[in-house]
Amino acid sequence: MATLRASIEVPGRAHMNDKTSAVRVRFAPSPTGYLHLGGARTALFNWLFARGQGGTMILRVEDTDAERNKPELVGGILDGLEWLGVGWDEGPFYQSGRTELYRAAAKKCLANGAAFLCYCPAEKYVGGDHEEESSEGPQLRRVTRCACRQGRPATPGGKPAVRFKVPLGGTTRFLDAVFGEREFSNDEIEDFVLLRSGKDDQEFGQSMYQLGVVVDDIDMRITHVIRGADHLSNTPKQVLLYRALGAEPPVFAHVPLILGPDKSRLSKRHGATDVNMYRAEGFLPEAFRNFLALLGWSPGGDEEFLRTKDLLRKFSLEGVSRTNAVFDRPKLEWFNTQYLQKLPIQELLPEVENELKRSGLWKPEWAAPGADGRDHAWLSKTVDLLRPRIRLLPDFSSWSRAFFSDEFTRDAAAKEKFWTDPRVPELLGRLADRLEALAEWNHDACDHASRAVAEAGGVKAGLLINATRVAIVGQAVAPPLFDTMVVLGQQRVVSRLRDAVASFAKA
């Protein structure tokens, strides 16, 4: 993966007291689903933070739940990250392969009294926050402690799970770079499970989330935990674990969640939430990144069109908001059109090439400047002409098909709109003759010839121009006609005009 730049001094924030250690962050997806927008945004923030300060980005797959885990989903998540341009320096590490590490940590907690063996079957566990029947219907009671923590199992027998022994009374506090100082009462925290009970001949089962994250974050020397705000309430548990394992907690930075247009949690019913679907739709990764970065973060100024290098330079945890953001697709599309228009043409060309290859329209001679470079120059000019009207990459092969192939059809609605005048066939025929006779093929020559034909025929130039557009590109909407003619070339324009005239005869 990307080479790690030499560690430089961490700008750091005084109150966080970062010593001199370089920044180390991680993105830790769970393969229970695809890479969704929220996850992608979290990955992006971690990446921006790490790359912006010469730190290290680690990728860790949290697959400790054998039941819900779907290994085949990992590939899609990695693909999504790659498309997003979010690379990592270490990993991917898989928690499923680090089981011994977690068991050792759990045993350490058992040994130093920070954890206990709980023999309660999961359904019978008496601790926690269970629902209970009352005169007013089902009620949830406060956290209670199980007798197992005193070594007096309420329901002896069976295999025990390891639970963390949360201190009675007192508070647990930590620093969050986004939400500030946080303090939680220990009495609100249940004795959470560290290790599942073992099956068959196993002493213990797989690690639970809380143990896995903490052990790995310590082991991987993570300095900043940047993740979704849905983990804010779990953080005190983790801080307790850090202490029990004799480690200092990192700086936490919880970023607000991304909600759907109805302000409810973003889910499949809100449409595309899988980043790979945006790639498939033809968004440019950099535009997508720019849009995503602005969800829950602001550079402070008025500029919103921020290329990746700008994001890298400006990103900071201080700019992260505490308010959940709503995903707004129209704005994403706006960003895409902006990038389509403003990107240096040489940066856009590879994307267009991929698109044309995907649709089978690509011609090898268009590839990078060859012998005389004329074909490549033609492609470059054509894409440049087309791009102000393109919204998504696939538009290059659908909407602008006639620019790259002679096999195209004329849009019925376009004919309906611009071919209704009975004089059109004759005008198009005369224009074909006139253009064919042209010695010079350029914008002005096409312009003069067309206007002359219109004038001679006693019609407004617009009538001929619009009809001609439909004839040569098959669309009612296209780039300015004379520029289009230049790009298509004399022979092609003439033959398409005659083909159009012929189509009238048939009809």
Partner RNA sequence: GGCCCGGUAGAGUAACUGGUUAACUCGUCACCCUUUCAAGGUGAAGAUUACGGGUUCGAUUCCCGUCCGGGCUACCA
Within residues 52-71, the interface with RNA by CB under 7 A covers 62, 64-65, 67-68
Q: Which of 51, 392, 482, 487 binds RNA (CB under 7 A)?
A: 482
Asked whether position 135 contacts RNA by CB under 7 A, the answer is no
Number of residues binding to RNA, judged by CB under 7 A: 91
Asked whether position 324 contacts RNA by CB under 7 A, the answer is yes
- Distance in Å, CB of 205 to RNA, minimum: 6
The stretch near RNA (CB under 7 A) out of 1-9, 158-166, 217-225, 432-440 is 158-166
E strand or H helix that includes residue 487: helix 481-488
Within residues 31-50, the interface with RNA by CB under 7 A covers 32
Going by C-alpha positions, the residue among 96, 79, 95, 76 that lies closest to residue 26 is 95
Within residues 358-397, the interface with RNA by CB under 7 A covers 388-389
Question: Cα separation of 433 and 330, whole Å?
Answer: 45
Going by C-alpha positions, the residue among 317, 217, 322 that lies closest to residue 16 is 317
Decide: 469 and 408 in contact? Cβ < 8 Å: no
- Distance in Å, CB of 19 to RNA, minimum: 26
The stretch near RNA (CB under 7 A) out of 124-132, 244-252, 279-287, 404-412 is 124-132
Q: Write b or e for each residue in 331-345: b if 16 or more Cβ atoms lie within 10 A of its Cβ, otherwise e.
A: ebbbbbbbbbeebee
Q: Which of 50, 220, 481, 486 binds RNA (CB under 7 A)?
A: 481
Q: Cα dist. 376→362, 368, 387 in Å?
A: 12, 6, 16
- Distance in Å, CB of 488 to RNA, minimum: 14
Nearer to RNA, 39 or 366 (CB): 39
The CA dihedral of 200, 201, 206, 207, to the nearest 10 degrees, is 130
Q: DSSP state, 15?
A: G
The stretch near RNA (CB under 7 A) out of 8-16, 347-355, 373-381, 464-472 is 464-472
Q: Which amino acid is at 238?
A: Q
Q: Which amino acid is at 387?
A: R
Q: Which of 82, 129, 416, 455 binds RNA (CB under 7 A)?
A: 129
Q: Which amino acid is at 373?
A: G
Beta bridge partners of 265: 259
Question: Cα separation of 344 and 306, whole Å?
Answer: 14
- Distance in Å, CB of 272 to RNA, minimum: 16
Q: Which of 120, 215, 275, 500 binds RNA (CB under 7 A)?
A: 120
Site string for RNA, 170-209 (x = CB under 7 A): ---------x--x-xx--x-x-xx--xx-------xx-xx
Asked whether position 94 contacts RNA by CB under 7 A, the answer is no
Site string for RNA, 328-347 (x = CB under 7 A): x-xx--x--xx--x------
Question: Cα separation of 84 and 51, whole Å?
Answer: 14
- Distance in Å, CB of 270 to RNA, minimum: 12
Any idea which residue has 């009970």 for tokens?
A: 197
Beta bridge partners of 204: 197
Asked whether position 139 contacts RNA by CB under 7 A, the answer is yes
Within residues 399-438, the interface with RNA by CB under 7 A covers none
On the CB side of 92, CA atoms within 13 Å amount to 21
Decide: 115 and 103 in contact? Cβ < 8 Å: no
Question: Cα separation of 333 and 186, whole Å?
Answer: 46
- Distance in Å, CB of 353 to RNA, minimum: 22
Asked whether position 264 contacts RNA by CB under 7 A, the answer is yes
Asked whether position 97 contacts RNA by CB under 7 A, the answer is no
Is omega for the bond preceding 92 within 30 degrees of 0, making it cis?
yes
The stretch near RNA (CB under 7 A) out of 106-114, 127-135, 164-172, 306-314 is 127-135
Asked whether position 122 contacts RNA by CB under 7 A, the answer is yes
Site string for RNA, 291-310 (x = CB under 7 A): ---xxxxx-x-x-x------
Any idea which residue has 């925290």 for tokens?
A: 189
Going by C-alpha positions, the residue among 99, 62, 243 that lies closest to residue 164 is 243
The stretch near RNA (CB under 7 A) out of 75-83, 227-235, 281-289, 420-428 is 227-235
Within residues 240-259, the interface with RNA by CB under 7 A covers 256-257, 259
Which listed residue (124, 199, 268, 331) is catalytic?
268
Asked whether position 285 contacts RNA by CB under 7 A, the answer is no
Q: Is 309 a catalytic residue?
A: no
The CA dihedral of 52, 2, 306, 35, to the nearest 10 degrees, is -110
- Distance in Å, CB of 320 to RNA, minimum: 8
Asked whether position 113 contacts RNA by CB under 7 A, the answer is no
On the CB side of 370, CA atoms within 13 Å amount to 9
Q: Which of 271, 369, 373, 480 binds RNA (CB under 7 A)?
A: 480
Question: Cα separation of 406 and 79, whole Å?
Answer: 35
Going by C-alpha positions, the residue among 485, 482, 507 that lies closest to residue 496 is 485
Q: Which of 150, 321, 420, 442 binds RNA (CB under 7 A)?
A: 321
Nearer to RNA, 21 or 264 (CB): 264
Nearer to RNA, 283 or 366 (CB): 283
Q: DSSP state, 505?
A: H
- Distance in Å, CB of 225 to RNA, minimum: 13
Nearer to RNA, 56 or 466 (CB): 466
Decide: 497 and 429 in contact? Cβ < 8 Å: yes
Going by C-alpha positions, the residue among 224, 243, 295 that lies closest to residue 58 is 224
Q: Which residues are known to be catalytic? A: 268
